[in-house]
Structure 1
């Protein structure tokens, strides 16, 4: 299959300022930064060309400044091995190709700010274990046309990143919901039906990390039940954080998992789980009378009960106030239990 050629608007912009662009490349090489001519050509062709086509259709006068910003950012990506056909994280190129053309009316207003913020977000969703970059790219491409300000798009990006699996974005995403219009909040959260109360919906989502936004949007939510809401963690050799089966602790309202080498804060909710290295000071074995799994696999959180055969003979347990984490002596996995509709 033939590779796509540079678009006429991009080719013309590069030709007009050829000496300056060549000088930028020469500066990078002279400074010792990584440079790959093939990667530059591939990224300009596959990622930048569609953007400049879209800019030319909307605001031809912005072709030159946007080209300049994206060329410089492409050099930055190449220096970090994040651009080109052989990049480790193709989601960055795909995000440029799909999201940037969709946000051109905003991009021409603030090319450096917006392209930089979106590229940083694409990197974060690409490198995070368990996160699917395509989900974030799909959501952002669909939501872009509903945003009339750069700040709106960036807030929507936080919500989309949370829903793509970055559980540690949850608080920031819910804060962003308070600054957006109700209609945009519903779209960003994937709520298609009527919302009884936006204030109540956001409060419910803050209280229950496992609650579906569509359920939180209803007038009356169903009664909660105790169940396994997620199973996370894995052996380091299979892409997980643990060298040996971890023990679980609670500290400062957070779950902390520790193997024989390191400790991690576990942040998890209905959209995903992320691990964050931390120190292991103050990790104490605790008992949680109102949140426990017995040796027979009988689980209890408050007044809710459930029988979970897979959790017979639990090894360690910890409770963060909403979620009960359980480990087994011969497993690198962590079972998470909660009471939720």
Structure 2
């Protein structure tokens, strides 16, 4: 059952809403009206209630915008019970209501930003969607404008594992009030410029252990064969089977993009002088790390900030910070 406030708005504009639904059925031939009804209850109703409580005079116009957007999302198979990924519905139900003041003023833009972010994050393997949602919810009371919503969404997506957002997220944070930018990293204070300098200089800031990335494609992983890795200025080009990838990684996670054989050929495989192998023991300057890999066929590649470790005995790539 939908709430009384939502039901009243729908009843007062029944002809208008019915006309919108009819037009949507013409545009989206696969639109399932039963699924749409379920999304109205599960996703749209909580947001309408929040806006009605915050700005009653804007509840009607917001509902029209949300109704149209919901029709399109369900029509494209992105929302509703049949959606491939439930995260978008979760964002509407649990996160969007926290932005009711902003939704009341700019319903299409604000709800569109949240929806697009949810769709993008759900499509990035390894992205920590729950972390992004929880951190967005925690900062919601401090987000007052669409520009701030966009910047915080991008910044927190990077922190949730979307590694290729790193430089764009840092640049976007420059537009935020310093205290909000610092708070987005779970820290206190207002010295964003000092934090910014550290983030640019230290991609692995806050993560001294590195990460392990990759698994056998036959078990749902990324690589059909044990990967071979070469370094670029900011990442690594990976060869696995007959496919090539660009791997970007930092303290918050790693992502794969497509690459070419030429890019792999042009990448390098050298390592800094302070990095060496002694059997299965890796020496990083004064540090020694015992690798859980057979000695003799371990391969290393490094860029300015990251060391990649591979072996023909594993489909995983071990990524370690160099500083």
TM-score of the pair, normalised by structure 1: 0.87
Aligned length: 320
CA positional deviation for 1:45 = 0.6
Q: How far apart are residue 133 of structure 1 and its match?
A: 1.4
Q: Whole-Å Cα distance in 2 between the matches of residues 326 and 245 of structure 1?
A: 11
**Distance in structure 2 (CA, Å) of the matches to 1:162 and 1:67:** 31
Q: Are 2:252 and 1:271 equivalent residues in the alignment?
A: yes
Q: For 1:51 and 1:133, how far apart are their aligned partners in 2? A: 20
2:48 counterpart residue number: 52
Cα-to-partner distance string for 1:64-122 (whole Å, 9 max, x where unaligned): 22111111111221122222224322111111112221111111111111111110101
Task: State yes or no: 1:208 paired with 2:191.
Answer: no
Is the CA contact (8 Å cut-off) linking 2:28 and 2:76 kept in structure 1? Answer: no
Q: Runs in 1 of length 4+ with deviation above 6 angstroms? A: none
Aligned to 2:182: 186
Whether 1:334 aligns to 2:321 is: no
Are the counterparts in 1 of residues 235 and 246 from structure 2 also a CA contact under 8 Å?
yes
C-alpha distance in 2 between matches for 1:295 and 1:237: 33
Asked if the contact 1:155–1:173 (Cα under 8 Å) also holds between the matched residues in 2, the reply is: yes
CA distance in 2, matches of 1:157, 1:253: 23
Q: What is residue 149 of structure 2 aligned with on the other side?
A: 153
TM-score normalised over the length of structure 2: 0.91
Point out the more displaced range, 31-40 or 229-238: 31-40
Distance 1:136 1:307, change over 3 A: closer
- 1:299 aligns with 282
Equivalent residues in 2 for 1:19-98 (5 A)? 19-98=15-94
User: Are 2:311 and 1:310 aligned?
Assistant: no
**How far, CA to CA, are the matches of 1:72 and 1:249 in structure 2?**
48
SS in 1 for 2:237: strand
CA distance in 2, matches of 1:244, 1:174: 35
After superposition, the C-alpha distances for 1:44-73 in whole angstroms (9 at most, x for unaligned) are 111111111111112122112211111111
Q: Which has the larger displacement, 247-256 or 287-296?
A: 287-296
Contact 1:251–1:282 (CA under 8 A) maintained in structure 2: no
Q: What RMSD in Å do the two structures reach over aligned CA positions?
A: 2.1
Matched with 2:137 is: 141
- The alpha carbon displacement at 1:293 in A equals 4.3
Equivalent residue runs for 1:245-284 within 5 Å: 245-284=226-265
Map of 1:130 onto structure 2:
126
Q: Secondary structure at the match of 1:282?
A: helix
